[in-house]
Amino acid sequence: AHRRLILAIETSCDETSVAIVENGTKILSNVVSSQIETHRRFGGVVPEVASRKHVESITWIIEEALDKADVRPGQLSAIAVTEGPGLIGALLVGVVAAKTLAYALDLPLIGVHHIAGHIYANQLVHELRYPLVSLVVSGGHTELVYVEKEGSFRIIGQTRDDAAGEAYDKVARALKLPYPGGPHIDRLAHEAEEALPLPRAWLEPESYDFSFSGLKSAVLAALNQAGMKGLPIDARAVAKGFQDSVVEVLVEKSLRAVQEYGAKQLLLAGGVAANKGLRQQLADRCASAGVPLIAPPLSLCTDNAAMIAAAAHLKLERGQLSSLELKADPALDL
Ligand code: KG4
Ligand code: ZN
């Protein structure tokens, strides 16, 4: 069969990643250079620092991805890149690198939406069946996406304030846990015996939107109050109370969307997909509803270029190519 090799680049946030994927499903290499150590002392991603780090690493990461895949540039079929959304300075580095490669190698260029990438990460591990619903939860995103057929996306719900992962990181910071705090809260929540009672943000009854800033404020208020009264703070109970609230709302809204839209599968994507509580509850509820839950391994849930290559492969098949005029767009629509 014809071997279609896509080199994809992802630089929308704080991971510099380059992957080579064969025929949309076979990962030959997927190099991810994380800047977490650099940003940790600031307690979050600093956009200007992220851009500079991408510039420093992009060239050698492209070389490493080719080396690991044992592929020569002349064997490539197309160049793909995340065109948005994300941090503008970070996106620019990937887009300029991709345009340069496409021009120099005379290859088609394919711009990919970052969320489409997260969704199609699932295509690297499972066959997809439409219509489907995908829950994308990361440090930058919280979206419920209805995918009626391949390449047709509709955001049916999204966060009105903080992303789920962002809320995790902020609550972790208040508990003096290291950045990124999601995994630490997850662990503490599982060790907890009781949960601090906290509110759930259901919003309007019909709404698939999310809101996490009120919950975060409730946690901060509880911590402040305990501090003022000189009471000890049970970080485990706080972590469990917070996690229970986030997970319950994510799970209820996802399952309601699956029912209303007659989805044949529920896809999980984004870094918060690593959350044990979320995975467990979604798995239980999907099992009772008779809907397959699909979640890629963690390395494909967090930002990586293989997912961009997977989404790009579908666009290449459909002939949806970009021109060399492609622009990075920090607020790109899905
Ligand atoms: O997808 P990702 O690597 O980067 C973005 O595109 O944002 O997601 C990172 C986010 C961070 O906010 C991190 O705290 C969160 O995912 N995260 C978790 C867990 N592991 C990572 N949140 C909750 N529970 C976890 N186990
Ligand atoms: Zn992402």
Residue spans per domain, the chain:
5-120+301-317, 129-295
Global pTM exceeds 0.95: no
CA torsion angle 210 169 240 269 (round to 10): 60
Nearest ligand 1 atom to the CA of 164 is 12
329 is in an annotated binding site: no
Amino acid at 286: C
Superfamily of domain 5-120+301-317: ATPase, nucleotide binding domain (3.30.420.40)
Q: Could you check whether 5-120+301-317 and 129-295 share the same CATH topology?
A: yes
Please check whether residue 33 is in contact with residue 16, taking contact to mean a CB–CB distance below 8 angstroms: yes
Instruction: Report the C-alpha gap between 19 and 309 in whole angstroms.
Output: 7
Nearest ligand 1 atom to the CA of 276 is 26
Strands 132-137 and 26-34: unpaired
Which of 273, 310, 312 shows the shortest CA–CA distance to 135?
Answer: 273
For a ligand 1 pocket test, name from 15, 35, 168, 245 the mutation site with the most ligand atoms within 8 angstroms of its C-beta.
168
140 is in an annotated binding site: yes
Instruction: Report the C-alpha gap between 2 and 10 in whole angstroms.
Output: 25
Name the closest-CA residue to atom 23, ligand 1. 182
DSSP 83-138: EESS-HHHHHHHHHHHHHHHHHHT--EEEEEHHHHHHHGGGGTS---SSEEEEEES
Distance 188 CA to ligand 1 centre (A): 16
Predicted confidence at residue 1, as pLDDT, reads 60
Neighbours of 60 (CB within 10 A): 14
**73 DSSP assignment:** G
186 is in an annotated binding site: yes
For a ligand 1 pocket test, name from 12, 40, 91, 138 the mutation site with the most ligand atoms within 8 angstroms of its C-beta.
138
Name the closest-CA residue to atom 7, ligand 1. 139
Nearest ligand 1 atom to the CA of 114 is 6
H-helix segments, the chain = 36-40, 47-69, 88-105, 114-120, 164-174, 182-191, 213-228, 235-260, 276-289, 298-301, 305-317
Predicted confidence at residue 203, as pLDDT, reads 97
In the CATH hierarchy, which fold is given to the domain comprising 129-295? Nucleotidyltransferase; domain 5 (3.30.420)
Q: Which ligand is nearest to the CA of 166?
A: 1
Q: Which ligand is nearest to the CA of 35?
A: 1
pLDDT tens-place values along the chain, 334 residues long: 689 999 999 999 888 999 999 999 999 999 998 877 777 877 777 788 788 989 999 999 999 999 999 999 999 999 999 999 999 999 999 999 999 999 999 999 999 999 999 999 999 999 999 999 999 999 989 999 999 999 999 999 999 999 999 999 999 999 999 988 999 999 999 999 999 999 999 999 999 999 999 999 999 999 999 888 888 889 999 999 999 999 999 999 999 999 999 999 999 999 999 999 999 999 999 999 999 999 999 899 999 999 999 999 999 999 999 999 999 999 999 9
Burial 216-245 (b: 16+ CB within 10 A, else e): bebbeebbeeeeeeeeebbbbbbbbbbbbb
Question: At 31, is the secondary structure helix, strand, or coil?
Answer: strand
Instruction: Report the C-alpha gap between 94 and 85 in whole angstroms.
Output: 12
